[in-house]
Structure 1
Amino acid sequence: MRGKLLPLAGLYLVQGLPHGLQSGLLPVLLRARGLSLARVGLARGLHAPWLLKLAWALLVDRWGSPRAWLALSTAALGLLCGLLAVVPPAPAGRADLPAAAVGLLLLLNLGAAVQDAALDAAAVRLLGPGELGPGNTVQVVAYKLGSALAGGGLLGLLPSLSWPLLFMLLATTYWLAAALAWAAPALRGLPRPPPSGPSHPPRDVMAVPGTLWTAGFVLTYKLGEQGAGSLFPLLLLDRGASAPELGLWNGFGAVVCSIAGSALCGALLARHWQLLSLLKSVLWLRLGGLACQTALLYHLDAPGASLATGTALSRVALLSLCLQHFLGGLVTTATFTMMMHCSQLAPRTLQATHYSLLATLELLGKLLLGALAGVLADSLGPHPCFTLFLTLSVLPLLGLGLAPSTLA
Structure 2
Amino acid sequence: MRGKLLLLAGLYLVQGLPYGLQSGLLPILLRARGLSLTRVGLAKALYAPWLFKLAWAPLVDRRGSPRAWLALSTAALGLVCGLLAALPPAQDGQAAMPIPVAGLLLLLNLAAAVQDVALDTLAVQLLEPTELGPGNTVQVVAYKLGAALAGGGLLALLPTLSWPPLFLLLAATYWLAAALAWAAPAIRQRPPPPQLAEPHPLGKAPHLLQGLLAVPGTMWTAGFVSTYKLGEQGAGSLLPLLLLDRGASAPELGLWNGVGAVACSIAGSALAGALLARHWRPLPLLRSLLRLRLGGLACQTVLLFHLDSPDASVGPASVLRGAALLSLCLQHFLGGLVTTVTFTVMMRCSQRAPRALQATHYSLLATLELLGKLLLGALSGALADGLGLRLCFSLLLALSALPLLDLGLAPSTLA
Measured against the shorter chain, the TM-score band is over 0.9
Corresponding residue of 1:164: 164
Corresponding residue of 1:231: 238
Deviation at 1:242, TM superposition (A): 4.1
Corresponding residue of 1:86: 86
**CA deviation map 1:251-273 (0-9, x unaligned):** 11111000000000000000001
Corresponding residue of 1:146: 146
Counting only pairs closer than 5 Å after superposition, residues 310-349 of structure 1 correspond to structure 2 as 310-349=317-356
**CA deviation map 1:274-333 (0-9, x unaligned):** 110110000000000000011112233568754221333321111111111000000000
Q: How far apart, CA to CA, are the structure 1 residues paired with 2:108 and 2:182?
A: 20
Residues 192 and 310 of structure 1, relative CA distance in 2, 3 Å threshold: farther
Q: Please report the RMSD computed on the Cα atoms of aligned residues, expressed in angstroms.
A: 1.8
Residues 91 and 236 of structure 1, relative CA distance in 2, 3 Å threshold: closer
1:121 and 2:121 matched? yes
Q: How far apart, CA to CA, are the structure 2 residues paired with 1:40 and 1:244?
A: 19
The equivalent position to 1:405 in structure 2, one of 398, 406, 412, is 412
**CA deviation map 1:46-97 (0-9, x unaligned):** 2222222112211100111111110111011111111221233346885544
SS in 1 for 2:195: coil
Q: How far apart, CA to CA, are the structure 1 residues paired with 2:82 and 2:244?
A: 41
Q: How far apart, CA to CA, are the structure 1 residues paired with 2:302 and 2:93?
A: 52
Deviation at 1:35, TM superposition (A): 4.3
Q: How far apart, CA to CA, are the structure 2 residues paired with 1:243 and 1:283?
A: 31
Residues 43 and 250 of structure 1, relative CA distance in 2, 3 Å threshold: closer
Counting only pairs closer than 5 Å after superposition, residues 62-211 of structure 1 correspond to structure 2 as 62-90=62-90, 95-196=95-196, 197-198=199-200, 199=202, 200-211=207-218
SS in 2 for 1:309: coil
Counting only pairs closer than 5 Å after superposition, residues 232-381 of structure 1 correspond to structure 2 as 232-301=239-308, 306-381=313-388
Question: 81-90 vs 180-189, which deviates more?
Answer: 81-90
SS in 2 for 1:88: coil
Deviation at 1:27, TM superposition (A): 2.4
Residues 333 and 50 of structure 1, relative CA distance in 2, 3 Å threshold: same
Question: 38-47 vs 173-182, which deviates more?
Answer: 38-47
Residues 30 and 308 of structure 1, relative CA distance in 2, 3 Å threshold: closer
Q: How far apart, CA to CA, are the structure 1 residues paired with 2:241 and 2:93?
A: 36
Q: How far apart, CA to CA, are the structure 2 residues paired with 1:301 and 1:94?
A: 38
- Contact kept in structure 1, 2:34 and 2:92, CA below 8 Å: no
Corresponding residue of 1:27: 27
Give the TM-score normalised by structure 2.
Answer: 0.94
Counterpart amino acid of residue 315 in structure 2: A
Deviation at 1:25, TM superposition (A): 1.0
Q: How far apart, CA to CA, are the structure 1 residues paired with 2:381 and 2:92?
A: 37
Residues 29 and 264 of structure 1, relative CA distance in 2, 3 Å threshold: same
Q: How far apart, CA to CA, are the structure 2 residues paired with 1:316 and 1:36?
A: 33
Counterpart amino acid of residue 384 in structure 2: A
Counterpart amino acid of residue 298 in structure 1: F
Q: How far apart, CA to CA, are the structure 2 residues paired with 1:34 and 1:301?
A: 33
Q: How far apart, CA to CA, are the structure 2 residues paired with 1:49 and 1:310?
A: 46
Deviation at 1:232, TM superposition (A): 1.5
SS in 2 for 1:218: helix
Deviation at 1:354, TM superposition (A): 0.4
Counterpart amino acid of residue 346 in structure 2: M
1:382 and 2:389 matched? yes
Residues 385 and 211 of structure 1, relative CA distance in 2, 3 Å threshold: same
Question: 240-249 vs 313-322, which deviates more?
Answer: 240-249
Q: How far apart, CA to CA, are the structure 1 residues paired with 2:384 and 2:166?
A: 39
Unaligned runs of 5+ in 2: none
Give the TM-score normalised by structure 1.
Answer: 0.96
The equivalent position to 1:396 in structure 2, one of 385, 400, 403, is 403
Q: How far apart, CA to CA, are the structure 1 residues paired with 2:43 and 2:304?
A: 35
Question: 236-245 vs 263-272, which deviates more?
Answer: 236-245
Counterpart amino acid of residue 82 in structure 2: G
Question: 75-84 vs 253-262, which deviates more?
Answer: 75-84
Counterpart amino acid of residue 177 in structure 2: A
The equivalent position to 2:228 in structure 1, one of 214, 221, 224, is 221
Counterpart amino acid of residue 262 in structure 2: V
Question: 190-199 vs 73-82, which deviates more?
Answer: 190-199
SS in 1 for 2:56: helix
- Contact kept in structure 2, 1:33 and 1:95, CA below 8 Å: no
Paired positions, count: 408
Q: How far apart, CA to CA, are the structure 1 residues paired with 2:310 and 2:76?
A: 59
Counterpart amino acid of residue 151 in structure 1: G
Q: How far apart, CA to CA, are the structure 2 residues paired with 1:240 and 1:88?
A: 35
Deviation at 1:4, TM superposition (A): 0.4
Q: How far apart, CA to CA, are the structure 1 residues paired with 2:234 and 2:276?
A: 28
Residues 379 and 43 of structure 1, relative CA distance in 2, 3 Å threshold: closer
Q: How far apart, CA to CA, are the structure 2 residues paired with 1:104 and 1:283?
A: 40
- Contact kept in structure 2, 1:13 and 1:142, CA below 8 Å: yes
Corresponding residue of 1:8: 8
| Identical-residue share of aligned pairs (%) | 78
